[in-house]
Amino acid sequence: MSELHGKRVVLGVTGGVAAYKAAELARLLVKAGAEIDVVLTDAGAHFVGAPTFQAITGRPVWHNLWDSRMDNAMAHIDLSRGADVILIAPATADFLAKLTHGMADDLLSTLCLARDCPLLVAPAMNRQMWQSPATQRNVAQLGIDGVSVFGPASGEQACGETGAGRMLEASEILDELIAFFQPKLLNNQRVLITAGPTFEAIDPVRGLTNASSGKMGFALARACVEAGAQVRLVAGPVVLDTPRGAMRIDVTSAAQMRDAVMQAVDDADVFIGVAAVADYRPVGNAVHKIKKTAAMSIDLVANPDILAEVASRPNAPFCVGFAAESQNLASYAEGKRVAKKLPLVVGNLVQDGLGGDQNAVTLFDANGAHPLSQGHKLAVARDIVKHLATLISKGNSDAQN
Ligand code: C5P
């Protein structure tokens, strides 16, 4: 996905060893469709030279306030005009201090002061430097001044110590930047999501499950975080990375998923049931592996319907269901919406989405059916969030009238 198509990013690189990750970040930004102007501080240029960034971005690299390549000799003004964002990665403790105090003694600090676009920083420094009262004061002040701070992460540091202060990985900064550009449609909303399959044990090695990959639920969790929501993600057994910023609770069976949801639901404004919960589980769970015989039968008992239970609670959150069908999508999905008393159901034909990265869905609400454009599951998830946010704000304004 060309997530940053049409975006102009000024990438500032200051003098920390994490500057090597900035080269990778520049590559990812270009791949995502952004136009990049790299600005190095003197110290940044000591770590990674201008030719590296020039080769990656295909554009001139800047680091001198007196650069004569700009027609009007005002690189500090020209570079930030027309930029959608200035991103400093890595941002050293020294550079954060300069930003906090509005210092402007080189090209990068001057253009940050002269900017008319948002400023984002990805700090990178030794853990003691990060924890020092001065840096913490500076970061808090930058937050008050409207600067967004990405990270830092914790872990092993180049100096051999371990702690908070590592710069985020390039791919994580890219995700943060993409999220930064998404409209904050779910600000202040607390969203609880189930995703993936459940696994119902028959014995210690066998079980009943289904083909859900969890990708749609995880994409929705990411889209909700990007939209400014606080997200808790109850995940069945899947092999997927947790979307940055979501709080993940791993479960295996439907019963565990139900318990995790019921523990969290009081603090949820929105509940989205994406999980393909197994409808049945074996009666009992053999302690030892069942030995093979010519034939075997398993007695099954119905699992609790988590979504229906949440939707029928007094003061239920805004509930969204999913209906994955192999035929008669409209009638089955609308039937589920009415039966489970849901304001919104997302329906899809399993042949359009199961396991893959793409999906084609239709939304069913009180006003009828709304087909969404087919696309990558993250793009589809963002469209679902848009519709959901409209229904929530409409519900809120109806309640006030
Ligand atoms: O009735 P059906 O299983 O098709 O409904 C699908 C919707 O209900 C999905 O949103 C799914 O997450 C939810 N569900 C549930 N608990 C179940 C079965 C389905 O929350 N036991």
Tell me the pLDDT band of 161, cut-offs 50, 70 and 90: confident
Residue nearest to atom 2 of ligand 1 (CA): 323
Distance (angstroms) between ligand 1 centre and the Cα of 359 equals 18
Q: Which atom of ligand 1 is nearest to the CA of 325?
A: 4
Q: Which residues of 348-386 are buried (b: 16+ CB within 10 A; e: fewer)?
A: bbeeebbeeeebebbbbbeeeeeebeebbbbbbbbbbbe
Residue nearest to atom 21 of ligand 1 (CA): 305
Is the model's pLDDT at 208 over the cut of 70? yes
pLDDT at 156: 84
Tell me the pLDDT band of 125, cut-offs 50, 70 and 90: very high
Give tens-digit pLDDT for 47-84. Answer: 999 999 999 999 999 988 877 777 666 666 778 888 99
In angstroms, what CA-CA distances link 45 with 6, 246, 255?
Answer: 27, 36, 56
pLDDT at 72: 65
Active site residue 159: yes
Give tens-digit pLDDT for 10-23. Answer: 999 999 999 999 99
Best probe residue, ligand 1, of 193, 271, 277, 344 (max atoms within 8 Å of C-beta): 277
Distance (angstroms) between ligand 1 centre and the Cα of 308 equals 8
pLDDT at 382: 97
Domains and CATH numbers, the chain: 8-181 (3.40.50.1950), 190-400 (3.40.50.10300)
Tell me the pLDDT band of 217, cut-offs 50, 70 and 90: very high
Q: Which atom of ligand 1 is nearest to the CA of 309?
A: 20
Q: Which atom of ligand 1 is nearest to the CA of 324?
A: 4
Flag the least confident range among 36-40, 184-188, 350-354, 366-370: 350-354
Name the nearest CA neighbour of 22 among 154, 167, 129.
167
Q: Which atom of ligand 1 is nearest to the CA of 320?
A: 10
pLDDT at 401: 62
Residue nearest to atom 4 of ligand 1 (CA): 323
Residue nearest to atom 1 of ligand 1 (CA): 336
Distance CA 401, CA 393 (A): 12
**213 phi and psi, to 5 degrees?**
-90, -20
Residues 54 and 26: beta-carbon distance below 8 Å: no
pTM over 0.95: no
Distance CA 215, CA 375 (A): 13
Distance CA 15, CA 42 (A): 7
Distance (angstroms) between ligand 1 centre and the Cα of 159 equals 50
Mean pLDDT confidence for 346-365:
88
Is the model's pLDDT at 196 over the cut of 90? yes
Q: Which atom of ligand 1 is nearest to the CA of 272?
A: 10
Is the model's pLDDT at 91 over the cut of 70? yes
pLDDT at 400: 63
Distance (angstroms) between ligand 1 centre and the Cα of 248 equals 20
Is the model's pLDDT at 98 over the cut of 70? yes
Distance (angstroms) between ligand 1 centre and the Cα of 113 equals 53
Give tens-digit pLDDT for 289-333. Answer: 999 999 989 999 999 999 999 999 999 999 999 999 999 999 999
The letter for the amino acid at 268 is A
Best probe residue, ligand 1, of 220, 272, 307 (max atoms within 8 Å of C-beta): 307
Distance (angstroms) between ligand 1 centre and the Cα of 338 equals 13
Flag the least confident range among 19-33, 67-81, 134-148, 226-240: 67-81
Pocket of ligand 1 (CB under 6 A): 194, 254, 273-275, 277, 303-307, 321-323, 336
The active-site residue, picked from 112, 117, 159, 319, is: 159
pLDDT at 68: 75
Crossing angle of helices 215-226 and 377-400, rounded to 10°:
50
